[in-house]
Structure 1
Amino acid sequence: MSSTSEVGHAKNVANLQKIIQQVSTYSLYNPPIADITVASLQTLYTDANAKLTDVGDKRNANKNTIVARQTAFKNLSSTCTSIINLLEIVGLPQGTLDQARSLVRTIQGSSGKSNTPVEDGKEAPKSSSTSRQSFSSKAENFGLLLQMLSALPAYTPNEDSIKLQNLNSYHESLRAATLLVDQTESELNTKIIERDRILYTEETGVYAISLKIKKYVKSLYGATSPEYTTVSAIEFTNRK
């Protein structure tokens, strides 16, 4: 993956359009190689700009699923607390109760929380607690807790929110929310690869093409010419 910032990628594409507009005004600009003709450059710009748009769309989709996952998991801790509170009064063997408590502690982790505000669409910063569970791990352990509940005849809550059928539905919603984040992240990664390919591939990427344009203008007008000085000042950044 490129370490160039998102602003840097967009600037490269914007400057490609700028250099195309500039060389289009040069009467001598008639390159002998196809990939730096004005027509080819315009096609490259259109394709590169489309890849930037694709990345932006997939990034927004990923952010939206992250927010949705945060919302889905918001009540998980309090739900587990309600379950344990009921289990503590139904006369379970101590070993069974301890097992349920252990699962809940794993799901909930430490109560330590960060006061750092969460940026829009980003994950909440992790606390310094010993629990750094991923969302998928929390959902998995919640599923194990529900399996335990299904085997306990004494678990017969009157509250709808912790009835087993509703808990199973909630568990499925947690899994679905997590899978959507994974899916949109994979799609985003693919679009980033495609964008980087069109911007930074050797010989044919936007950065490589910009160097060819500048060298050709230099050969036409000379290193001290205003024509070359103008195009050489249009900056392009290679990935690091």
Structure 2
Amino acid sequence: METNPELQGNPEPEKNNPKTASEVGHARNVANLQKLIQQVSVYSLYNPPVPELTVASLQALYNTATAKISEVEDKRNANKNAIALRQEAFENLKATCTRIVNRLEILGLPQGTIDQAKSLNRSIQGTTKKSVKTTETGKEAPKTISSSRQSFTQRADNFGVLLQLLTTISAYAPQEDELKLTSLNTYKSELVSATQAVDQTEAELNLKLIERDKILYTEGTGLYSIALNVKKYMKSLYGGTSPEYLTVSGIKFTVVSNQ
């Protein structure tokens, strides 16, 4: 069975994204199990020699799988909500840091202090320092800023370092409430909390994805294997060309890959 990419780092989904093909595929397998149960239930000769294939066992498996699909969706929605709240929390970070640096530049501070603040701000902005290059003709080449995709944790950490720097600058005493150290430290705590909520909900989602895949695809005991064994039993019971077998052979079950 192929590795489930949903468990490999969980990329952040876009808001209001439609269900992926993989999500639909898992749910379709569960729905088709119920269809299979309903079909074999009407055949009086259906009396499998192994307990896992009995109608009662199949119905119990369907109930468990349905519940697990629902749990995955609940955790997925919780993770999406946490991601949206984190995005909202970080919206003003870059502008706030730029305002702080602009304030520091008018205070007559040592250049080393200014450079340190600017370096932290560039890390938070996700840019590197502009550099002037010349072409072979001697003309100045266009200025470029290379972007780095900073993680939210790194941004919050760098913001914290910037705030530590501010505590060493006695001249930093803004009148604006949102730029005062007390407010900035509260904001930093909000950023950390929002990031931790995403990490927590992602961990919970990953656990439910593992549990779901065990129920659906574990070799020999998962829904996929059991559904195929039901078909094999029906084929042995009625024959491969019988209408009874043909009614169940066309019910599709697949090992879903999210790639």
- What TM-score does the superposition give when structure 2 sets the normalisation length? 0.84
CA shift, 1:151, in A, is: 1.1
Runs of 5+ unmatched residues, structure 1: 112-127
Query: Any conservation in 1 of the 2:22–2:256 contact (CA below 8 Å)?
Result: no
Aligned residue in 2 for 1:220: 237
Return the alpha-carbon distance in structure 1 between the equivalents of residues 200 and 227 of structure 2.
35
User: What does residue range 83-102 of structure 1 map to in structure 2 within 5 Å?
Assistant: 83-102=100-119
Return the alpha-carbon distance in structure 1 between the equivalents of residues 207 and 55 of structure 2.
29
Q: Which amino acid in the other structure matches residue 12 of structure 1? A: N
Return the alpha-carbon distance in structure 2 between the equivalents of residues 106 and 179 of structure 1.
20
Tell whether 2:4 aligns with 1:2. yes
Runs of 4+ in 1 over 3 A off after TM superposition: none
Q: Deviation per CA, 1:49-71, whole angstroms, max 9, x where unpaired?
A: 00000000000000000000000
Aligned residue in 1 for 2:40: 23
CA shift, 1:79, in A, is: 0.4
Aligned residue in 2 for 1:109: 126
Query: Any conservation in 1 of the 2:29–2:252 contact (CA below 8 Å)?
Result: yes
Aligned residue in 2 for 1:76: 93
Tell whether 2:142 aligns with 1:140. no
Aligned residue in 2 for 1:182: 199
Return the alpha-carbon distance in structure 2 between the equivalents of residues 147 and 214 of structure 1.
67
Return the alpha-carbon distance in structure 2 between the equivalents of residues 208 and 148 of structure 1.
60
Q: Which amino acid in the other structure matches residue 105 of structure 1? A: R
Q: Deviation per CA, 1:204-223, whole angstroms, max 9, x where unpaired?
A: 10000011100000011100
CA shift, 1:11, in A, is: 0.5
Q: Deviation per CA, 1:116-167, whole angstroms, max 9, x where unpaired?
A: xxxxxxxxxxxx9422100110000000000000111111111101100000
Runs of 5+ unmatched residues, structure 2: 6-20, 129-144
Secondary structure of the 2:25 match is helix
Q: Which amino acid in the other structure matches residue 173 of structure 2? A: T
- What TM-score does the superposition give when structure 1 sets the normalisation length? 0.91
Distance 1:129 1:217, change over 3 A: farther
Return the alpha-carbon distance in structure 1 between the equivalents of residues 215 and 4 of structure 2.
12
Q: Which amino acid in the other structure matches residue 141 of structure 1? A: N
Return the alpha-carbon distance in structure 1 between the equivalents of residues 166 and 48 of structure 2.
74
Q: Deviation per CA, 1:52-103, whole angstroms, max 9, x where unpaired?
A: 0000000000000000000000000110111011101111100100100110
Q: Which amino acid in the other structure matches residue 131 of structure 1? A: S
Return the alpha-carbon distance in structure 1 between the equivalents of residues 82 and 211 of structure 2.
22
Tell whether 2:151 aligns with 1:149. no
Distance 1:129 1:10, change over 3 A: farther
Return the alpha-carbon distance in structure 1 between the equivalents of residues 203 and 55 of structure 2.
35
CA shift, 1:239, in A, is: 4.0
Aligned length, in residue pairs:
224
Return the alpha-carbon distance in structure 2 between the equivalents of residues 85 and 110 of structure 1.
17
Aligned residue in 2 for 1:201: 218
Return the alpha-carbon distance in structure 1 between the equivalents of residues 146 and 56 of structure 2.
58
User: Could you say what the CA RMSD is over the residues aligned between the two structures, in angstroms?
Assistant: 1.4
Between the aligned residues of both structures, percent identity stands at 64
Secondary structure of the 1:10 match is helix
CA shift, 1:173, in A, is: 0.2
